[in-house]
């Protein structure tokens, strides 16, 4: 599995198509109309950007992907590692990961440093999208996602294909104080990917997630990466930490190809 970089009418994004069955995309910050710290393809509605610009950006982006906005389904992120199956009773259910076996749904989630985890079960025909924030990774959300698929869709971990998208890298992610101590304690078994630097704890969230998946039976050759750091690559990505919270959002999507 390898992501390709696409440019369409000034929109820049990454895309991967698996076996003409599933399409995964991840947007960049380029190709929209937003200005200032939100320049230019900010797709996040829950930001301080001009709402009309965000609406235009979404229209531009979905048109570039040839997606119907009516088919796009997202959820309200909680940072509590809850997982949901779509369609759900609520229009915008709360959770940090979503799964479906319906061809007509496009799963979408907003990011600006957290790790996007794309999942596809080619046997049971299920797709999923999971929000790998550091709190969720501390809570072993990758493990929970695999077990959720086993329980609700009878998936076999050995059959799962997982892609880990752009996120803040070990070069730039750090915690300090009590949250750092708790993070280090909770993830003690992953200590080789956690480092002490002065008064801060640094960690490789991508590697920790990969090991969580391996421990649950996902095959190493079925885990794929787009290992770009959102903090470092300011020309491509928004970063919540780099921009001190005043920034835009990229959009991750996964869908069945009809």
| 160-202 residue pLDDT tens | 999 999 999 999 999 999 999 999 999 999 999 999 999 999 9
Per-residue CA distances from 111 to 7, 20, 43, 252 (Å):
20, 26, 10, 7
Identify whether the C-beta of residue 2 lies closer than 8 Å to the C-beta of residue 16.
yes
Residue 258 pLDDT > 90: no
| Helix residue ranges, H only, the chain | 51-65, 134-138, 141-153, 177-186, 205-215
Mean pLDDT estimate for the chain: 97
- Going by pLDDT thresholds of 50, 70 and 90, the confidence category of residue 1 is low
Task: Give the burial class of 147: count Cβ atoms within 10 A of its Cβ; 0-12 exposed, 13-18 middle, 19 or more buried.
Answer: middle
Average pLDDT of 86-93? 90
Instruction: Read off the pTM.
Output: 0.98
Chain-centre distance for alpha carbon 137: 12
**Domains defined along the chain, listed by start:** 4-256 (3.60.140.10)
- DSSP character string of 16-83: EEETTTEEEEEE-S-SS---GGG-S----SSSSS-HHHHHHHHHHHHHHHT--GGGEE--B--SS--E
- pLDDT of 202-246, one tens digit each? 999 999 999 999 999 999 999 999 999 999 999 999 999 999 999
Average pLDDT of 99-119? 98
Average pLDDT of 97-126? 98
């Amino acid at each position: 599995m390898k992501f390709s970089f696409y440019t369409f009418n000034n929109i820049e994004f990454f895309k991967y198509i698996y076996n003409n069955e599933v399409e995964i995309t991840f947007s960049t910050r380029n190709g929209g109309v937003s200005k200032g710290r939100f320049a230019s393809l900010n797709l996040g509605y829950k930001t301080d950007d001009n709402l009309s610009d965000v609406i235009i950006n979404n229209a531009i982006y979905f048109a570039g992907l040839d997606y119907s906005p009516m088919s796009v389904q997202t959820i309200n992120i909680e940072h509590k590692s809850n997982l949901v199956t779509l369609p759900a009773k609520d229009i915008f259910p709360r959770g940090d990961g979503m799964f479906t076996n319906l061809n007509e749904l496009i799963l979408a989630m907003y990011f600006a440093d957290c790790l996007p985890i794309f999942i596809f079960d080619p046997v049971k025909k299920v797709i999923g999208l999971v929000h790998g924030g550091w709190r969720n990774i501390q809570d072993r959300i990758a493990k929970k996602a695999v077990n959720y698929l086993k329980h609700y869709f009878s998936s076999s971990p050995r059959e799962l294909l997982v892609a880990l998208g752009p996120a803040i890298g070990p070069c730039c992610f750090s915690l300090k104080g009590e949250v750092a101590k708790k993070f280090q304690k909770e993830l003690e078994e992953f200590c080789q990917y956690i480092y002490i630097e002065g008064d801060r704890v640094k960690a490789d969230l991508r590697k920790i997630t990969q090991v969580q998946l391996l421990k649950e039976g996902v095959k190493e050759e079925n885990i794929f990466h787009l290992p770009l750091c959102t903090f470092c690559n300011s020309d491509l990505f928004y970063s919540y930490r780099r921009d001190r919270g005043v920034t835009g959002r990229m959009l991750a999507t996964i869908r069945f190809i009809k």
